[in-house]
């Protein structure tokens, strides 16, 4: 009959859409702007990953229809929502009272998930699905490796890792299709508390932000995850624009970028404001010393250039430049200015190696514009 034919066509269409590539395209749509893409693993880096799966096969419990049917259905549903083939995910439960989950990328097309029994026993269906989809999100977004040019211990890399968690949270939400369940999962993961001790009042919880006495102090520089509060706030902003996978298809890139800006404001206010201020300070130092080298090459600080410098970096910095130029003999100035420019650049590259090239290019262009106009 015709209705059955239509249903068959629809099923085949959806089936054909399911692939790692299709799932990754969803991830790219929701990637937070500050979540810089990671390096691709090469074959040598992936070579030892099979050992991880073997260890779990020996010491963990494989999630499967035969042994853990409820968990299998939950994982299947997450994969279906994210258009990811179920065979791309191998998932295990292992014995631990801790509330933990992780993801190891073992090939470009597959990953291994691990859940502690403490987490599985604590969470209901939607909450577990959020955690599973969050971990799958790290795989889809290639979060297994350090981001391009950002050295592992750098300040910038920790900022990127925090942004990655927020991107993965978005996929966690889309993988479960339930905002309350998603936020409850985050709260349970952070607190370890069961339903017996929790009343999920999102509005009341979000109001905790107003009680922070010194938000400008931010959070620890080396934290790989933003705080519980920031994660929930970021997910709430996102859900107001993208309610599910179908809504994502209808949502424009500028609309998601607007949400990203709001999340970045939260990060700046509550998490890493001092780090971002440091980035601005270093960028300004590079600009000042680049302008200084141009003045020395020109041989004079002209009135029109002074006015443009005043407009760009302010009176205090302009007066500082004048003092510097008056403090050295003419023959000493080029070497001293160049030394200070190189020192400023070295500090910028040390703390923000992933974006320093781009910042340097923008600042040098600005310096030439200020000087020559």
Helical H segments across 33-124, by residue range: 43-46, 49-59, 69-81, 117-122
Q: Does the pLDDT of residue 215 top 70, yes or no?
A: no
Stated pTM of the model: 0.76
Give tens-digit pLDDT for 17-43: 789 999 999 999 999 998 977 666 666
- Dihedral angle over CA of 223, 227, 230, 236, nearest 10: 120
What confidence score (pLDDT) does residue 82 get? 97
Q: For residue 217, what pLDDT band results from cuts at 50, 70 and 90?
A: low
* Rounded CA separation 230/218 (Å): 11
pLDDT tens digits, one per residue of 133-177: 999 999 999 887 433 444 556 777 788 888 999 999 999 999 999
Q: What are phi and psi of 194, to 5 degrees?
A: -90, 175
Q: Around Cβ 312, how many Cβ atoms within 10 Å?
A: 17
pLDDT band of 371, cuts 50, 70, 90: confident
The yes-or-no verdict on residue 48 having pLDDT over 60 is yes
- Nearest 5°: the CA angle 361, 365, 366 is 115
114 beta partners: 92, 102
3-state secondary structure of 325: helix
61-75, 82-96, 273-287: least confident range:
273-287
- In the chain, where are the structural domains located? 2-271, 276-372
Closest by CA to 92, choosing from 115, 70, 111, is: 115
Distance in angstroms (rounded) separating the CA atoms of residues 161 and 175: 21
- Output the pLDDT for position 73: 98
Cross-strand partners of 254:
none
Record the tokens describing residue 45, joined without a space: 């880096």
């Amino acid at each position: 009959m015709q209705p059955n034919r239509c249903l068959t066509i629809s099923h085949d269409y959806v089936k054909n859409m399911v692939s790692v590539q299709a799932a990754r395209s969803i991830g790219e749509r929701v990637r937070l702007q500050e979540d810089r893409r990671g390096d691709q693993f090469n074959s040598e880096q992936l070579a030892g990953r099979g050992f991880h799966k073997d260890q779990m096969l020996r010491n963990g419990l494989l999630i499967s229809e035969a042994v853990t049917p409820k968990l299998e259905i939950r994982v299947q549903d997450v994969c279906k929502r994210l258009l990811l083939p179920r065979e791309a995910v191998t998932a295990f439960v292992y014995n631990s009272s801790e509330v933990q989950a992780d993801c190891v990328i073992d090939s470009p097309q597959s990953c291994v998930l691990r859940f502690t029994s403490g987490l599985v026993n604590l969470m209901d269906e939607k909450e577990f699905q959020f955690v599973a989809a969050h971990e799958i999100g790290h795989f889809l977004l290639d979060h297994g490796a350090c981001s391009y040019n950002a050295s592992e211990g750098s300040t910038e890399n920790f900022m990127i890792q925090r942004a990655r968690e927020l991107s993965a949270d978005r996929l966690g939400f889309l993988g479960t299709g339930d905002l309350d369940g998603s936020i409850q999962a985050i709260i349970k993961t952070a607190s370890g508390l069961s339903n017996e001790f929790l009343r999920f009042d999102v509005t009341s919880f979000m109001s905790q932000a107003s009680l922070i006495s010194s938000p400008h102090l931010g959070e620890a520089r080396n934290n790989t995850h933003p705080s519980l509060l920031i994660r929930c706030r970021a997910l709430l902003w996102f859900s107001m624009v993208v309610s599910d996978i179908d809504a994502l298809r209808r949502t424009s890139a500028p609309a998601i970028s607007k949400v990203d800006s709001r999340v970045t404001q939260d990060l700046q206010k509550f998490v890493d404001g001092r780090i971002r201020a440091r980035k601005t300070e270093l960028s300004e130092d590079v600009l000042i010393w680049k302008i200084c080298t141009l003045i020395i090459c020109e041989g004079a600080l002209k009135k029109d250039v002074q006015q443009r410098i005043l407009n760009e970096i302010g009176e205090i910095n302009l007066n500082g430049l004048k003092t510097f130029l008056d403090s050295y003999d003419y023959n000493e100035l080029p070497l001293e200015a160049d030394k200070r420019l190189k020192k400023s650049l070295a500090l910028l590259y040390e703390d923000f190696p992933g974006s320093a090239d781009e910042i340097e290019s923008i600042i040098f262009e600005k310096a030439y514009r200020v000087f020559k106009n």
